[in-house]
Structures are given as structure tokens and as C-alpha cells.
Amino acid sequence: MPETKKAVRAATIVRAACKLFACQGYHATSTREIAQLAGVSENTIFRHFSSKEGLFWATLQFHFAGLELPKELLDELAQRQAPEVVLSKILELLSNTADFNPDLLRLIAVAFLELQGKMDGFCHRHLSPLLNFINNYFEMSIESGKIRDLDATMLTSALVMTTLTHPRICNMIDSDKPSYSSRLKMRRAYTSFWLEVLAPAVLTDSHAVTIREVKDAGNHNQ
């Protein structure tokens, strides 16, 4: 029972720290504020975590725990399945992260901006494996001729950043542009775009989202 209470209290502290770190940044957040939000004393925080920085990494690790490639997708990547099969699932994983775990993206940004070089080791342990799976898939698909001969590392970076940042950047460019009426249509649009870039010969009607569909989706939202 004591261990259970300890784990529950630590989780409460991590959740409070996440809200503040993600909203205010690392340096602007004090352990006193975290303690107040968590409903504990500062001493309690340091009984669970060695330092404020240790708490930050624990918070980031907590959010990374849910960011894993499904076994089905891992198998398809390893088996070099066709891009029209794999891309949609990669994009779904990334878009789900952006939609349902936005604090993870904010914490990663905070770590890169405020903790600089200290983020490298963390990324190699938690983020690099996922990115390497995607990058290796692109390399193998390029070698087998399934996609165009492009730089695999640049493709991986562009695919990830497109999915995570496109909605916000698109809104900054043209806030009047209709949005997609569902996450499914948005994912189909991303898949269609990347298939056209990487393997235009395999683009089919089942993956395409036409301009008319996008306009209809926007009108539906209004």
C-alpha cells in the first residue's frame, strides 16, 4: 500500500509539472508552483525526484511512453510493404500524437530551446528508434524502386514536420481556408500528398482527396 501511495503521488506531481512546463517553459516554472498545483509540499517533490531537471525528464518520459509504433506497422515496415499501405498508418500515428498528446510536442520544444544539448541523449533513447524505423523504410523503398530516389533522412524529417505542424501553419497562411471535416479526411489528404511526391504512379482514387472534397468539408463545418 505505501508503494501504491508513493506511485500515485509521483504521478500527480508529474501531471502538474507537465501542465506548467508545457505552458510556461522550464526556466519560468518553479518547483513551488508545481507543488501548489499538485497539492504537495516542495519537500515532497524532492523526496520523489532528485531535482527540478530530474522531474522535467520524468515528465517528458511519461509522455513518450505512449509514443510507440504498433506491432502491425513495425511488421509492415520490416516487410517493405507498399507505400500506399504504410504511409497512411505512419501519418495516423503522427497525427494522433499531434491531436491527443500535444503536451509532448510542447515539452520537446521546451527541451530543445531551454535544455539544449541535454536533449540529445534523451532523444537518442526515446525518439530516435521511431524515426529510424521510418527512415530505414524509406531507404529500403528507395533501393527497391518503390519510391523516388530522394534523401531518406530529409523525407523522414519532412513527413514528421508536415503532419505535426501543417494545421497551425496552414491557419497562419490562410485562416479562411476550409478545414477538413474529419481526421480521416485529413489523413487521406496527407497520404495523397505524400504518395504524389514519392510514388505518383501508385496514387489511386481511393487515396485522393480532391479540392471539391476539401471545400465540401469546409462548408459542412460552417
Query: Which residue ranges make up each domain of the chain?
Result: 2-63, 68-221
Residue 15: how many CB atoms within 10 A of its CB? Answer: 15
User: What pLDDT is stored for residue 49 in this prediction?
Assistant: 95
Nearest Cα neighbor of 187 from 156, 204, 162 is: 162
The pLDDT of residue 219: 44
Domain 2-63 matches domain 68-221 at the CATH topology level: no
Q: Report the C-alpha gap between 160 and 182 in whole angstroms.
A: 20
Cβ atoms < 10 Å from Cβ of 170: 12
Query: Which candidate, 122, 214, 210, places its Cα nearest to that of 176?
Result: 214
Q: What torsion, rounded to 10 degrees, do the Cα atoms 50, 22, 188, 91 define?
A: -20
CB 63 within 8 Å of CB 103:
yes
Q: According to the model, what pLDDT value does residue 22 have?
A: 94
What is 68-221's CATH number, 3.30.70, 1.10.357, 3.30.300, 1.25.40?
Answer: 1.10.357
CATH superfamily of this structure's domain 2-63: Homeodomain-like (1.10.10.60)
CB 180 within 8 A of CB 220: no
Dihedral sign for Cα 87, 101, 152, 168, please: positive
Between CA 55 and CA 116 the distance in angstroms is 17
Could you tell me if 202 and 83 are in contact, meaning their C-beta atoms sit under 8 angstroms apart? yes
CA distance 204 to 197: 13
Residues 6+ apart with CB under 8 A from 4: none
- How long, in residues, is the chain? 222
pLDDT tens for the chain, residues 1 to 222 = 456 888 899 999 999 999 999 999 999 999 999 999 999 999 999 999 999 999 999 999 888 876 677 778 777 777 878 888 888 888 888 888 777 788 888 898 899 899 977 888 887 887 888 888 889 989 998 998 888 999 999 999 998 888 877 777 777 776 666 565 577 777 788 888 888 888 866 544 444 443 344 334 444 444
Instruction: Tell me the CA distances in angstroms from 89 to 33, 74, 98, 188, one per residue in order.
Output: 40, 10, 14, 10
Name the one residue in this structure whose C-alpha cell is 503521488.
9
* pLDDT computed for residue 205 by the predictor: 43
pTM of the full structure = 0.70
CA–CA distance, 147 with 127 (Å, rounded to integer): 25
How much is the pLDDT for 5?
Answer: 86
